[in-house]
Amino acid sequence: MIAKLTGRVEQIEADRCVIDVNGVGYLVQASTRTLAALPASQMASVLVETQVREDAISLFGFAESAERDWFRLLTTVQGVGARVALNLLSALSPRDLVVAIQVGDRAALMRASGVGARLAVRVLTELRDRAGAMPAGVAASPMVAGASGLEADALSALVNLGYRRPEAAVAVDRVVKRLGEGAALAAVIREGLRELAR
């Protein structure tokens, strides 16, 4: 079982890369987030999840352990295979997945290719109790467990403007992560509106 590869990144494509380890090129499928982090034509390390089937041995690469752990969890959901799990990890970071699942944000999951309404509901239902224990790079958003301060005020403003709470919570979380806790309330609301308009 291959758990990690370190070698030269020979080729990067839309959904996979080739890593040359001592003259052997390994074809590694990965999320766009991981592929973007790989330095072309340079040495790099990726964590690997190996899947063995009767007709193929597939390698899935991850830049960080949180993404690999989420891949493992997502593929336990009925209807979520390796490709759909990578699509979800391309659309949402581990932190965004924690927030989306805890607030029940079906629309966020449906941004991933191959995820329709029914599959999004299944992911939310099956992983709701497990998402909080999953790695997110940083702690899950305080909005999930009852927000206070800047985030709560911004969330309240967006909800009062007619946006649904789950989508508004994800937008505010992204904005605060980008601007920092010291951002002005007006700036967070303005950027939150831009996030929601996408």
Give me the domains of the chain, ranges plus CATH numbers. Answer: 4-62 (2.40.50.140), 65-131 (1.10.150.20), 149-197 (1.10.8)
Tokens at 176, concatenated: 């605060």
Q: CA 11 → CA 7, 19, 38, 117, 128, distances in Å?
A: 12, 7, 10, 35, 37
What's the token pair of residue 169? 């919570």
Structure pTM?
0.70
pLDDT of residue 141: 40
Q: To the nearest whole number, what is the mean pLDDT of the chain?
A: 87
- Mean pLDDT (whole number) for 132-156: 59
Q: b/e per residue, 30-51, with b = 16+ CB within 10 A?
A: bbebbbeebeeeeebebbbbee
Q: How confident is the model at residue 103 (pLDDT cuts 50, 70, 90)?
A: confident
- The SS3 call for residue 8 is strand
